[in-house]
Chains A and B, each alone.
Chain A
Amino acid sequence: MGHAMKRKEDPRFIQGKGRYVDDVKLPGMLYMDLVRSPYAHAKIKSIDTSEALATDGVLAVITGEDLKAAGDLHWMPTLMSDTQMVLPIEKVAYYAQEICAVIATDRYIAADAVEKVVVDYEPLEAVVDPHLALEDKVIVRDDKDKKTNHIWHWEAGDKEATDKVFAEAARVVEQTMHIPRIHVSSIETCGMVANYNKATEHMQIYMTSQAPHAHRTVFALVSGLPEQKIQIISPDIGGGFGGKVPVYPGYVCCAVASLVTGKPVKWIEDRSENLQADSFARDYHIAAEMAADSDGKITGLRVKTLSDCGAADAAANPSKFPAGLYSICTGSYDMKAAHIAVDGVYTNKPPGGVAYRCSFRVTEAVHMIERMADIMAHELGEDSADFRLKNFIRPDQFPYESPTGWQYDSGNYTAALEKAMEIIDYRALRKEQAEKRECGELMGIGISSFTEVVGAGPSRDFDILGIKMFDSAEIRIHPTGKAMARFGTKSQGQGHETTYAQIVAEELGLPASDVQVEEGDTDTAPYGLGTYASRSTPTAGAAGAMAARKIKAKAKKIAAHLLEVGEDDLEWNVDKFQVKGSPDQAKTIQEIAFAAYTNHPQGMEAGLEATDYYDPPNLTFPFGSYICVVDIDSGTGEVHVRRFVAVDDCGNIINPLIVEGQIHGGLTQGLAPALFEEIVYDENGQNLSGTLADYLVPTAVESPKWETGRTITPSPHHPLGAKGVGESPTVGAPPAIVNAVVDAMWHLGVRHVEIPMTPQRIWSQLREHGVTD
């Protein structure tokens, strides 16, 4: 642990020998392409597939009617126990919705045949604004008994106590903010190769899946195929970030196509399809209020939020949490009371709400609390760092019970912020800002001191479609002392082949190079809930440590047998058991492994292996402080991020190199929605940002040179003292940047800027506040 070792998985990637789903080629493989709706809301009067079917090379066209006839497969359950159309029969509910699937002998023929399918639509009025949707004038889901767009209402905290705090407050600030729709846009899009063998009735599926076991169970329940006859292989995945957690209609059509034809069928979506129809992230409309007393101590938080879910509630949340872990939004601050109310609503947009690198709505929560803290600090005329230091939960208050029911495991917010301030020389920057202000230059400093909540999760509260959110590890040591370790998670670039090997190496003294880590094949890996929400280290990493400890306990018995001593006479020393007081009498783990197969004690089972299914007792709470310095061009409104210091605390670190990579990547994915990315619809529900030419993923030019630092506050309940880390930066970065921009213009009267903070938005505010250049 703690060793910055080079990654074990890299040799194949740097040589172009990775195996991604689109690299899979099976004999006789067919290609599937999808006809998609050009309307956001329309009745389907007819679908004419005759010309497509008559085309040479086209084997089948699957419509909603076909799926219905095959056993009501035209609808499927979502992860939030709503229903979603696989292929529509009566009407379409979002732009780019899948209409029918064309299966052909090559991808070019399939693409041409898609153009030959004639769909007669009767366009309907679309409802795009979630506030308008609440008026129920245009109903998105007329398949429901209750003709309303309102899906659910959810509350957390204590309304009465919060209202009292606000009534008694010395100061109240309020702000509305919209966290717009964005897209994960991993460089590999989604896809599948489904391979049904009619003779053996076995369905083999290669899938871009972050959670292959959960997907296998869902497939079994929906299709009726026996679960032991379904194998899902998640090979190398080119980035997930939450976008490869939902089950998309394309996957279902691909599997059905293979069932029907008895041949392998490949479906790989185009980038445009990916951006336009796949599950979006965010889209929260927030109205927040913060209360403080006369000493500038935060006393309460009151929040109302509208969650725009699109045409189905297909959010990827644990089932009891329709608004995810949003109630973490009291953040790093100690306060008396809080109340949060969220409403979910249907609109004519793609369904979803993936947890895009944010552990279930934590980005929205942190954006809100860090903006509110900054607004309050500025309103009170206090320095934004000093305001936070005054209001932080203190180290002696941990484990901390938040006003909305979270038990934070550990934290030291003061240390992280002070370290960030030291690295960036904060006080000097404030001096510089004051000087620049005199000359009319716009320089801003923004802070974000976030608390994340990751590692879902304890079985008493956390399940996805009823499956509890434990995770697993299975470790087997071979006679020659080499190990195989399989896990229920699935890396999409996070480096598990290396970090898990490091955990096993640390626990058992084997070199990490002798530990072969595998994930992703449901036939061999133990059951797990997959990788997202920064849960792998907290759950499967913990399972790995616990399984290794079971092995160590057996190894001790074998060592005692070999050395002819009692177990109590032995002590562990890095990679061997030695006799206390007589260290030259020892057996290495390799010698013990060999003995497990050749010389084990009579009455003991041979072999040296263990499995652990780990039910975490709590989530883990990584945290950090980020400080961003911006210079704004008052002529163009362009924001230049001059410096960005990120101090993160994820508890004990397994591999510092990998942690740093995760932080850099998350920071760029946090910068992106702050400045560039937004999914935009017109009033008819047409997607205006549906290709990478319009949806602005940052390049190496836009992405700043990130500076990072660490503090280490271990988790008291995790076997390795570790917390998750991959999402902290995506969560913490956006408000740091917004706070910096607003700070730069606060003296002009600017209070808030919505994201993405395009030059147009900033320039407009500057004009409005009398700055012309």
Chain B
Amino acid sequence: MLLVHFVREVLDLTGTHIGCDTTSCGACTLLLNGRAVKSCTVFAAQADGGSVETIEALAADGNLHPLQEGFWEKHGLQCGYCTPGMIMSAKELLARNPNPTEEEIRRGISGNLCRCTGYNKIVEAIQYGAKKQSESGEEVSA
């Protein structure tokens, strides 16, 4: 069983989405042991004993994560289907590189396709999230 099916159907966490069958679109991105992976190309068994973090983890304490805030403030989403994968990729990007340039952001999300937004506002959303994270001095970990 694929990890994405395990998460969606066994764990009932449907925030992680399926958008293709060639590991191309990134809608299924989640963090496995802190690394952004495309969960459609990982077997559930490969996650055995590890930690899996999905979009649902981010506001679990009731407060939006700075990235989630950024996507809302900057209109970084329209249909919302690519959004969870986009946010999880961005989360790992900021953990590795808390202050990325625009080019680094675009490269960092180049594994996540979006058809609705034209990407400009996704970049702004991630810049917002990066700024908020560094201002609040939050510990940044993926």
List residues of chain A with CB under 8 Å of any chain B CB.
6-7, 9-20, 22-23, 25, 107-108, 184-189, 236-239, 241, 268, 270-272, 492-495, 657-658, 660-669, 691-693, 697, 699-701, 703, 705-706
- Which of A13, A16, A693 is the one whose CB lies under 8 Å from B22? A693
Q: B82-115: which have CB < 8 Å to A?
A: 82-84, 87, 102, 105-107, 109-115
User: At the interface, yes or no: B6 with Cβ under 8 Å from chain A?
Assistant: no
A473 CB to closest chain B CB (Å) equals 22
User: At the interface, yes or no: B27 with Cβ under 8 Å from chain A?
Assistant: yes
Once the chains bind, are B77 and A667 in contact (CB under 8 Å)? no
Once the chains bind, are A6 and B72 in contact (CB under 8 Å)? yes
> Complex: how many Å from CA A657 to CA B8?
32
Chain B contact residues: helix, strand, loop or mixed: loop
> Which B residues are CB-close (under 8 A) to A6?
72-73, 75
A16-B117 contact in complex given A661-B75, A692-B25, C-beta closer than 8 Å: no
- Which of B58, B64, B105 is the one whose CB lies under 8 Å from A700? B105
Binds A, one of B10-18, B43-51, B133-141: B10-18
A13-B83 contact in complex given A271-B25, A701-B110, C-beta closer than 8 Å: yes
A575 CB to closest chain B CB (Å) equals 26
Sort chain B's interface into a size bin.
35 or more
Q: List 21 A-B contacts (CB under 8 A).
A: A7-B75, A10-B72, A15-B68, A16-B54, A16-B56, A20-B81, A22-B8, A23-B14, A186-B79, A186-B81, A187-B25, A238-B17, A239-B116, A661-B78, A663-B118, A665-B116, A665-B117, A669-B118, A691-B24, A692-B22, A697-B113
> Which B residues are CB-close (under 8 A) to A270?
20-21
> Which A residues are CB-close (under 8 A) to B58?
15
> Complex: how many Å from CA A16 to CA B1?
22
User: At the interface, yes or no: B31 with Cβ under 8 Å from chain A?
Assistant: no
Once the chains bind, are A14 and B64 in contact (CB under 8 Å)? yes
B134 CB to closest chain A CB (Å) equals 20
| Chain A proximity mask over B114-142: 1 for CB below 8 Å, otherwise 0 | 11111111110000000000000000000
A95 CB to closest chain B CB (Å) equals 17
Nearest B residue (CB) for A693: B22
> Complex: how many Å from CA A17 to CA B122?
19
> Which A residues are CB-close (under 8 A) to B78?
239, 493-495, 661-662, 665
> Which B residues are CB-close (under 8 A) to A660?
75, 121
3 interchain residue pairs of minimum CB distance? A16-B15, A238-B81, A13-B80
A123 CB to closest chain B CB (Å) equals 26
> Complex: how many Å from CA A237 to CA B59?
23
Once the chains bind, are A691 and B75 in contact (CB under 8 Å)? no
> Complex: how many Å from CA A9 to CA B55?
17
> Complex: how many Å from CA A669 to CA B72?
22
> Complex: how many Å from CA A606 to CA B24?
57
Once the chains bind, are A186 and B14 in contact (CB under 8 Å)? no
16 more CB-based (< 8 A) A-B contacts, given A238-B82, A703-B120: A9-B80, A10-B77, A14-B87, A15-B56, A18-B81, A22-B14, A108-B1, A187-B19, A188-B81, A238-B19, A271-B21, A660-B75, A664-B120, A692-B22, A700-B106, A706-B118
List residues of chain B with CB under 8 Å of any chain A CB.
1, 5, 8-9, 12-22, 24-25, 27, 54-56, 58-59, 64, 68, 71-73, 75, 77-84, 87, 102, 105-107, 109-123
A272-B21 contact in complex given A15-B68, A16-B13, C-beta closer than 8 Å: yes
- Which of A19, A668, A691 is the one whose CB lies under 8 Å from B21? A691
B95 CB to closest chain A CB (Å) equals 19
> Which A residues are CB-close (under 8 A) to B59?
15
Once the chains bind, are B115 and A186 in contact (CB under 8 Å)? yes
A20-B19 contact in complex given A186-B115, A665-B117, C-beta closer than 8 Å: no
B76 CB to closest chain A CB (Å) equals 9
Once the chains bind, are B115 and A187 in contact (CB under 8 Å)? yes
Nearest A residue (CB) for B59: A15
> Complex: how many Å from CA A657 to CA B125?
13
Once the chains bind, are A667 and B118 in contact (CB under 8 Å)? yes
Once the chains bind, are B118 and A668 in contact (CB under 8 Å)? yes
- Which of B20, B27, B123 is the one whose CB lies under 8 Å from A691? B20
Once the chains bind, are A493 and B118 in contact (CB under 8 Å)? no
Once the chains bind, are B72 and A11 in contact (CB under 8 Å)? yes
> Which A residues are CB-close (under 8 A) to B84?
16
Once the chains bind, are A666 and B118 in contact (CB under 8 Å)? yes
Once the chains bind, are A239 and B15 in contact (CB under 8 Å)? no
> Which A residues are CB-close (under 8 A) to B106?
699-701
- Which of A10, A494, A692 is the one whose CB lies under 8 Å from B113? A692
> Complex: how many Å from CA A17 to CA B73?
18
> Complex: how many Å from CA A660 to CA B83?
18
B63 CB to closest chain A CB (Å) equals 11
Nearest B residue (CB) for A106: B9
B106 CB to closest chain A CB (Å) equals 4
> Complex: how many Å from CA A184 to CA B16?
22
A700-B122 contact in complex given A665-B115, A665-B117, C-beta closer than 8 Å: yes
Once the chains bind, are B118 and A703 in contact (CB under 8 Å)? yes
> Which B residues are CB-close (under 8 A) to A14?
64, 68, 71-72, 77, 80, 83, 87
- Which of A13, A187, A697, A700 is the one whose CB lies under 8 Å from B27? A187
> Complex: how many Å from CA A270 to CA B20?
6
Nearest A residue (CB) for B122: A700
> Complex: how many Å from CA A17 to CA B24?
23
> Which A residues are CB-close (under 8 A) to B8?
22-23
> Which B residues are CB-close (under 8 A) to A705?
102, 120
Once the chains bind, are A187 and B14 in contact (CB under 8 Å)? no
Once the chains bind, are A693 and B24 in contact (CB under 8 Å)? yes
> Which B residues are CB-close (under 8 A) to A701?
106-107, 110
Once the chains bind, are B55 and A15 in contact (CB under 8 Å)? yes
- Which of A20, A272, A657 is the one whose CB lies under 8 Å from B17? A20
Nearest A residue (CB) for B27: A187
Once the chains bind, are B68 and A188 in contact (CB under 8 Å)? no
> Which A residues are CB-close (under 8 A) to B27?
187
Once the chains bind, are A493 and B21 in contact (CB under 8 Å)? no
> Complex: how many Å from CA A494 to CA B120?
16
Nearest A residue (CB) for B83: A13
Once the chains bind, are B79 and A493 in contact (CB under 8 Å)? yes
Once the chains bind, are B107 and A664 in contact (CB under 8 Å)? no
> Which B residues are CB-close (under 8 A) to A665?
78, 115-118
> Which B residues are CB-close (under 8 A) to A189?
19
> Complex: how many Å from CA A693 to CA B22?
7
Nearest A residue (CB) for B107: A701
Once the chains bind, are B119 and A657 in contact (CB under 8 Å)? no
A768 CB to closest chain B CB (Å) equals 33
> Complex: how many Å from CA A642 to CA B25?
26
Once the chains bind, are B117 and A187 in contact (CB under 8 Å)? no
Once the chains bind, are A658 and B75 in contact (CB under 8 Å)? yes
> Complex: how many Å from CA A3 to CA B101?
30
> Complex: how many Å from CA A701 to CA B84?
19
Which of B54, B84, B109 has the most C-beta atoms of chain A within 10 angstroms of its own C-beta? B84
